């Protein structure tokens, strides 16, 4: 990505289109963000630079990056040719990160927010990218102490990438409901299943569910407009919950909370991957895809933020309101034929309970936030 960011906006846009036109279908990469924790208090600690320095010069270096604050660390699988390769890489990245963290006597957490550590105590890492974001966003970026799971899916063809991005918009609330893991933040029970989404999506500009663009040309005009008006200085300042990436020929799905359990993280990533491929299949075969206005998609997004898998989602084609689990089961069923072709069908399950539901149940049973969060610490991974 570093080389791509050195390009002028004109060069970046042209390079992105060329990348999609010559790209490959259904490669996959997964990014996971983790909290760096004090082993005694389980509070956030600003130790990223130490971990990064220790990884320098090792094979792990290229897969470990900073993500805004010094108490957060991100690991990336890198581009994988199959999802089985990605699952193995997810496990290996966690193993590598845990080994590194152990050397510095820190722990790692993976819920969408930290339950109590104040945002005022988190330091933004000193890189040109994050300095620019700090200068532009100020309070908005200071508050964004959140941890997510992102999946990149390779899509060949620039117009096709836009069509897949447009098609995925309807299903973002389903994925969020599945992934909700952040009912606590700033020392309070928010009653939300994804406080992370409320903090990030509702505060950042150009964030949440995007408009449908219809074609690469329309998307390009929008990006040019942002550059020409000084609204953005780099393409990563489009923080939409699904976006065609301008440095890689991928559609990136960014809606989900982080997951503590490796198996649950892999299952969630599998659904995101298979769903993108299923939407691409629909585009290729001229199968009608839902096209709903932003105001209706927002109703389901709010339901996913507030109630997660415990709530209900609206079938926007019929107006029927059904349990979120039932809506997800229907989505999995629709996705399954393509998932079988890609070898990921065995991962596609709707969890009996989400991470948020389990945390809320423990809270309602009388456990403290510290006791609850202690169950959300990454455990050793055996590869």
99 and 55 in contact (C-beta within 8 Å)? no
Q: pLDDT tens-digit profile of 263-302?
A: 999 999 999 999 999 999 999 999 999 999 999 999 999 9
Chain Cα centroid distance, residue 202: 15
2-21: average pLDDT: 82
- Residue 122: inside a domain: yes
Q: Is the dihedral of CA 261, 267, 271, 274 positive or negative?
A: positive
| 71: Cβ contacts below 8 Å, ≥ 6 apart | 35, 36, 44, 45, 46, 47, 48, 117, 122, 123, 145
| 383 domain residue, yes or no | no
Asked if residue 6 has pLDDT above 80, the reply is no
Residue 381: inside a domain: no
Q: Rounded CA gap, 350 and 264, in Å? A: 10
Listed residue (236, 152, 383, 117) closest to 107, CA to CA: 117
Determine, yes or no, domain membership for 382: no
Tens of pLDDT, residue by residue over 167-181, are 999 999 999 999 999
Give residue 7's pLDDT. 85
Q: First and final CA of the chain: distance in angstroms? A: 28
Closest CA to 206 of 173, 239, 233, 232: 239
- How sure is the predictor about 88, in pLDDT bands with cuts at 50, 70 and 90? very high
pLDDT bin (cut points 50, 70, 90) of residue 1 is very low
Chain mean pLDDT for the chain: 95
pLDDT grade for 254, boundaries at 50, 70 and 90: very high
User: If you write DSSP's letter for every residue of 324-350 in order, what string do you get?
Assistant: HHHHHHHHHHHHHHHHHHHT-GGG---
DSSP H/E element including 240:
strand 239-240
| 323-346 residue pLDDT tens | 999 999 999 999 999 999 999 999
> Does the pLDDT value for residue 5 go beyond 70?
no
Residue 114 lies in a domain: yes
What's the structural domain count of the chain? Answer: 1
Residue 210 lies in a domain: yes
**Alpha carbon separation from 298 to 152, 267, 354, 366 (Å, rounded):** 23, 25, 21, 33
- Rounded to two decimals, the pTM is 0.96
Q: Name the percent of the chain lying above pLDDT 90.
A: 92
Q: What pLDDT shows up at residue 382?
A: 63
Residue 2 has pLDDT above 50, yes or no: no
Residues 179-198 pLDDT 10s? 999 999 999 999 999 999 99
Q: Provide the domain limits for residue 323.
A: 2-376
**Is there a domain that residue 45 lies in?**
yes
**Residue 272 sits in a domain of what CATH number?**
3.30.590.20
The answer to whether position 89 is within a domain reads yes
- Mean pLDDT throughout 79-92? 98
């Amino acid at each position: 990505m570093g080389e791509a960011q050195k390009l002028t906006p004109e060069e970046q846009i042209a390079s992105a289109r060329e990348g999609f036109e010559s790209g490959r279908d259904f490669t996959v990469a997964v990014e996971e963000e983790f909290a760096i924790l004090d082993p005694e208090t389980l509070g956030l600690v600003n130790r990223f630079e130490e971990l990064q320095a220790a990884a320098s010069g090792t094979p792990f270096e290229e897969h470990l990056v900073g993500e805004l604050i010094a108490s957060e660390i991100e690991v990336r699988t890198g581009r994988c040719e199959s999802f089985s390769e990605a699952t193995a890489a997810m496990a290996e990245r966690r193993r590598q990160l845990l080994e590194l963290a152990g050397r510095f006597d820190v722990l790692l957490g993976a819920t969408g927010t930290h339950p109590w550590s104040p945002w005022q105590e988190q330091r933004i890492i000193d890189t040109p990218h994050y300095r620019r974001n700090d200068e532009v966003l100020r309070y908005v970026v200071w508050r964004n102490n959140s941890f997510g799971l992102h999946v990149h899916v390779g899509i060949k063809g620039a117009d096709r990438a836009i069509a897949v991005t447009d098609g995925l918009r309807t299903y973002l609330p389903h994925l969020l409901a599945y992934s909700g893991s952040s009912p606590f933040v700033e020392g309070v029970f928010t009653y939300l299943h994804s406080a992370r989404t409320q903090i990030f999506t509702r505060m950042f500009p150009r964030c949440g569910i995007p408009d449908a663009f219809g074609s690469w040309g329309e998307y390009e005009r929008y990006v040019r407009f942002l550059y020409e008006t000084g609204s953005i200085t780099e393409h990563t300042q489009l923080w939409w919950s699904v976006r065609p990436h301008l440095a890689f020929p991928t559609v990136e799905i960014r809606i989900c909370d982080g997951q503590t359990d490796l198996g649950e993280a892999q299952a969630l990533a599998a659904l995101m991957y298979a769903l993108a491929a299923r939407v691409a299949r629909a585009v290729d075969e001229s199968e009608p895809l839902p096209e709903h206005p932003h105001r209706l998609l927002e109703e389901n997004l709010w339901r996913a933020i507030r109630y997660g898998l415990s709530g209900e989602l609206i079938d926007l084609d019929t107006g029927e309101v059904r349990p979120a689990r039932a809506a997800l089961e229907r989505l999995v069923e629709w996705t399954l034929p393509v998932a079988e072709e890609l070898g990921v069908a065995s991962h596609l399950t709707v969890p009996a309970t989400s991470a948020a539901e389990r945390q809320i149940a423990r809270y309602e049973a009388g456990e403290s936030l510290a006791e609850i969060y202690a169950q959300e610490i990454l455990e050793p991974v055996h590869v």
